[in-house]
Amino acid sequence: MPFIDIAFQAEISRFEDSEFEEVARRNCGEDPDTRKQAIEELRSMILERGICNPRRMDDAYLLRFLRCRRFIPALTHKLMVRYEDFRRKNSYLYDCNAFGLQSVKDVYGGTLPDSPDNGRITLMRFGRWNVEEVPIVDVVRCALLMDEIAAMQPRLQILGVTIIVDLEGLGMRHVRPLTRTVAGQIVALMGVSFPIHIHGVHVINYNWILSSFFSLFKQFIPAAAWARLHFHGNDMSSLHKHIDPVYLPQEYGGRCQHVISTEEWLRKINMYKDEFMVQELRALGFTVDDTKSDGWSDM
């Protein structure tokens, strides 16, 4: 079996590797001795306050939220409230074929090798979005699907995610479809309302249009998130201060030889999805074919 397939089989695994205990302690404030206590405290808080009604209340589900908020139950509860509110207000985003969003492949540049300091590095290229062929709702749906799949994986719950937003080629045609609703959805998906631990968001290769593009988003970014937002322009040495070049592609002055495209990532996830993932995605509202496919499902 090729190494890439072995890696993707591990990608959907929910096995908790003991080697990640120290990483979980550093990234998430997770202590095996007090983990159960924090879970019970969060569960009691949910029941007593009655503000949100999570679809699951088991330990593994609550754990994915606690890991995003350094095991502080009060902050975790606020995150769960925002997540449930997002799902309620945007249920139509889940109403699609989970593995039929191949048209957005150019928008999401793919994923880079996991870094100990930066976690999963994800590349977005909004300047390559073909606005005539790809509706904005599918751009958001693909990000939503990737978030929901990532949140299922203990490895990514612990490692976290770093996002590189490459705006090369961005024009007014890309800004026009961005409404306040869409901007709010995108910010929510970047960790504000989702159980995804975000190390940082790095914006590169932008021009004067950034002011129009970014003005739509900044109203939704909470004060605590600004410290994780970095603007580098075309200065790759500035980016290298945050991300070691060994984990970056050559076009960003890096030494990484292989970027896993979003198309490839989703195709392999579709191949190796198990019954748990199928049922989870369906419970969220996605349509998922039972068959394991090495290609894309039809829309």
Lowest mean pLDDT among 22-36, 44-58, 149-163, 258-272: 258-272
- The tokens describing 198, both together, are 């975000």
Query: How many residues appear in the chain?
Result: 299
Look-up: residue for tokens 């090495």? 294
CA dist 80 and 66 (Å) reads 10
CA dist 244 and 287 (Å) reads 38
Regarding pTM above 0.75, the answer is yes
Domain coordinates in residue numbering, the chain: 3-93, 96-266
CA dist 29 and 75 (Å) reads 13
Residue 160: pLDDT band (50, 70, 90) is very high
Cα-flanking dihedrals φ and ψ of residue 25, to 5°? -65, -40
Residue 116: pLDDT band (50, 70, 90) is confident
Average pLDDT for residues 23-49, to the nearest whole number? 96
Q: How far is CA 146 from CA 94, 120, 150, 152, 171, in A?
A: 12, 12, 6, 10, 25
Average pLDDT for residues 114-140, to the nearest whole number? 93
Class for the domain spanning 96-266: alpha beta
Identify the CA nearest to 114 among candidates 162, 154, 70.
Answer: 162
**According to the CATH classification, is domain 3-93 in 1.10.8?**
yes
Average pLDDT for residues 168-176, to the nearest whole number? 91
Residue 18: pLDDT band (50, 70, 90) is confident
Q: In this model, does residue 72 exceed pLDDT 80?
A: yes
* Of 186 and 224, the one with more pLDDT: 186
